[in-house]
Structure 1
């Protein structure tokens, strides 16, 4: 049973790591040139925050999977919402850093917010601990959404894609 716990807990890290690995060269070059608000967290904070957040949400997804008896019909909506929000989470770095498309990154994160809230709400009646493990993630997403909006507004020449 521990293999399932580890698998579910590690899964979110896979896409997060791939997103970082693929876009790591664009971050110090392109990202640093963008106008950012004074409240933008330092770059070194992001990997620490995402490690904690991915671990919490991954373990929470295991709790839901376990409480619903695996991939049963009861799990389709709560784990489907989780999978959809995770896919949007993983899509954000390639849109923002890779394609440098601030508008698409903004649309992505707004949809991600809705799905993450829906995930947490659908989990609440199944396992309150799992739902509560999503609270820090939603807090970070709120900050990331505000940051994405602000960067999109403050960098009009970058809004729609790559421009050097």
Structure 2
């Protein structure tokens, strides 16, 4: 499989998993989430699908770039892709905990673990491919922001 195909496979995979995660939690997004007290720095609801769409595309490109280096840097590329899969699963789990279970406290604990896995993925990706590392920076920043938002929502609604 060539580099472009690997990138496309990873972009489609991340976008599909993101879409599934969004569909599973949509009812709570429409009904429960609007009833919560939120901090002043909460973005409008329309910002979330735009931000996540862009992030999933960048994550997929980054993973595809690392996958395309697996022949030359087998150990680090495999380790990076393993962490990528773990953080992607944790990303989906956060949505379920926050919106599905309607549990901001449990989601807050989990998002800390998610952030650590994203950081480790970034650390490994940048060793394999510098562009892949750079593509993960917006994701780290957004999840840092999401962590603060999650913590604030938990605090305001406890």
TM-score, structure 1 as length reference? 0.90
Partner-residue secondary structure (3-state), 2:15: helix
Listed one character per residue, the Cα deviations across residues 16-37 of structure 1 (whole Å, up to 9, x for unaligned) are: 1111111111112100000000
1:142 partnered with 2:144: yes
Mapping for residues 44-123 of structure 1, pairs under 5 Å: 44-69=46-71, 72-123=74-125
Following superposition, the deviation at residue 71 of structure 1 comes to 9.9
Which consecutive unaligned segments of at least 5 residues does structure 2 have? none
Partner-residue secondary structure (3-state), 1:36: coil
Following superposition, the deviation at residue 136 of structure 1 comes to 0.6
Which consecutive unaligned segments of at least 5 residues does structure 1 have? 157-164
* Cα distance in 1 for residues equivalent to 2:143 and 2:124: 18
Listed one character per residue, the Cα deviations across residues 120-161 of structure 1 (whole Å, up to 9, x for unaligned) are: 1111121111000001111111110000001111111xxxxx
Listed one character per residue, the Cα deviations across residues 93-139 of structure 1 (whole Å, up to 9, x for unaligned) are: 11111111112211111001001011111111211110000011111
Structure 1 stretch 141-150 or stretch 65-74: which is displaced more? 65-74
Listed one character per residue, the Cα deviations across residues 74-101 of structure 1 (whole Å, up to 9, x for unaligned) are: 4331111111111100111111111111
Cα RMSD, aligned residues only: 1.5
**Contact in 2 for aligned 1:26/1:97 (Cα 8 Å):** yes
**Contact in 2 for aligned 1:65/1:71 (Cα 8 Å):** no
Return structure 1 stretches of 4+ with deviation > 6 angstroms.
Answer: none
* Cα distance in 2 for residues equivalent to 1:125 and 1:82: 14
